[in-house]
Amino acid sequence: MTASLASRHSLVPIYLCCLAFGVQAGTGMPLVPLALERQGADHLTIGIVNSAWGIGMLLTAHRIPAVAARLGAVPIICAGTLLNAALSVVFAYTEGVALWFVLCLLSGMVGSVPWVVSEIWINLVVEEKRRGRAVAMYSTLVALGLAAGPIVLQLVGVYGPRPFLLNAALGVIVILPLMLTWRQAPHIRPIGRAGFSGVLLAAPIALLAALACGLGENVAFSFLPIFALEAGVSAETGATWLSAFVIGNLVMQWPIGWLADHVDRRAVLAACAASSAALVALVTAIDAHSSSVLVVLLLWGGISFGIYTVGLALLGQRFSGGDIARANAAFTMVYTLGGLIGRPISGAAMDVLGRSGLTLSVAFFYAAAAVAALLAFHRRG
């Protein structure tokens, strides 16, 4: 077996794991907010509890590469996933805002492990000439899983212990592909002592891409249904808007990844970010009752997450060997940070400016990423 074929073969188990992880995340994300609302919690409280996952992730992601180097990629993914499944069981049989904040914090600390390690795995084994497509396949499978999660919840319901227990059971499915192919995992050897600041200095464009994408995607998931209601359409139509955003993510990652393997990735990143800024601004400008808004949302969802796909490919292009481990951890942390700061920024902008506050705030960060990528492209040629 050639080295190229072997590297592609080693991606199969992690791809299957990412698909299952996406389904697990898609079923789990709505459960805590819905349960807290049923328990009588106000929206601010729900938002604070939800933010605990991102805080937990930021507290531990930088340590994941070092632990993965000691334990191995497969053992640490299995351990993190099973611990997260155990937390889902605790959710199923407990109540209370304070306790659930702690549980969400712990879930962020261990639940981020498969996310970080899978991206390190992909960037370590893939050939440079196929990196964009390899990352695009990863993004597509996670998005497919996220889209399937709500469908699964329609079968089991969203209240009571059952959906939490289902989420725990899905954790076992996540690790099965890895258990069957234990020896195919790459060995993670984080090197260097520069840490986050070193990654920032070496790859600022990739990290800015992660920030912009994390901000835009989390704002869309949090506020698109509210944005739709304020535009005068029904709640059901607002849900359709969000579905269009997710479908765009599904269908557009592969062509963007292919383009990133054939054109300078800085130019592709600039194009994705600039197009996303224009598309999100267009959402306010067109008639909310027109079917064309769904086309715009589909394009926004697909092209904006292309920022993440191309940014991750740029990261793998810039770093190699053990360096990629700490670089990937930094990339994931910045994406999460974008989600944490994006919701309050856009929420406050909407309070002041109405619906246009959402589009202006998100478009600003997309435009910043576009300008930075263009400057890098022209400066380094």
Contact between 125 and 15 under an 8 Å Cβ cutoff? The reply is no
Res. 381 pLDDT band, cuts 50 70 90: very low
What does the DSSP 8-state code read for residue 223? H
pLDDT score of 231 more than 80: yes
The gap from C-alpha 151 to its chain's centroid, in whole angstroms, comes to 19
Residues sharing a CB contact under 8 Å with residue 52, sequence separation 6 or more, in sequence order:
101, 102, 104, 105, 108
Average pLDDT over residues 88-104: 92
What is the pLDDT at residue 154? 75
Amino acid at the residue 199: V
pLDDT over 90 percentage in the chain: 28
Supply the pLDDT for residue 194.
53
Give the pLDDT band of residue 195 (cuts 50, 70, 90): low
Number of H helices, E strands in the chain: 15, 0
Q: Helix 3-28 to helix 161-180 angle, to the nearest 10 degrees?
A: 170
The pLDDT of residue 175 is 82
pLDDT of residue 211: 94
Report how far residue 346's alpha carbon sits from residue 362's, in angstroms, rounded to the nearest whole number. Answer: 7
Largest CA distance in the chain: 61
Distance CA 61, CA 336 (A): 10
| Confidence at 363, pLDDT banded by 50, 70, 90 | very high
Q: What is the pLDDT of residue 299?
A: 95
Give the per-residue pLDDT at 29: 75
**pLDDT (average), residues 242-256:** 88
Residues of the chain above pLDDT 70, percent: 93
The pLDDT of 213-226, averaged and rounded, is 84
Angle at 210 between CA 206 and CA 213, to 5 degrees: 130
Query: Which residue segments constitute the domains of the chain, with CATH numbers given?
Result: 1-188 (1.20.1250.20), 191-381 (1.20.1250.20)
Question: What average pLDDT does this structure show over 99-121?
Answer: 90
The two three-digit tokens of residue 235, written as one number? 């709640």
Tens of pLDDT, residue by residue over 160-188, are 899 899 988 888 887 887 777 777 778 88
How much is the pLDDT for 2?
Answer: 42
pLDDT at 112: 86
Residue 266 pLDDT class (50, 70, 90 cuts): very high
What pLDDT, in 10s, does the model give residues 5-62? 445 567 888 888 888 888 888 777 778 877 887 888 776 777 788 788 889 988 988 8
Is 378's pLDDT higher than 60? yes
Q: What pLDDT is attached to residue 228?
A: 81
The whole-model pTM stands at: 0.84
Residue that has been written with the tokens 């155990």 in this structure = 86
pLDDT at 328: 86
- CA dist 24 → 17, 160, 229, 309 (Å): 10, 17, 29, 21
pLDDT value for 167? 87
pLDDT of residue 3: 41
Most confident of the following: 223-232, 267-276, 312-321:
267-276
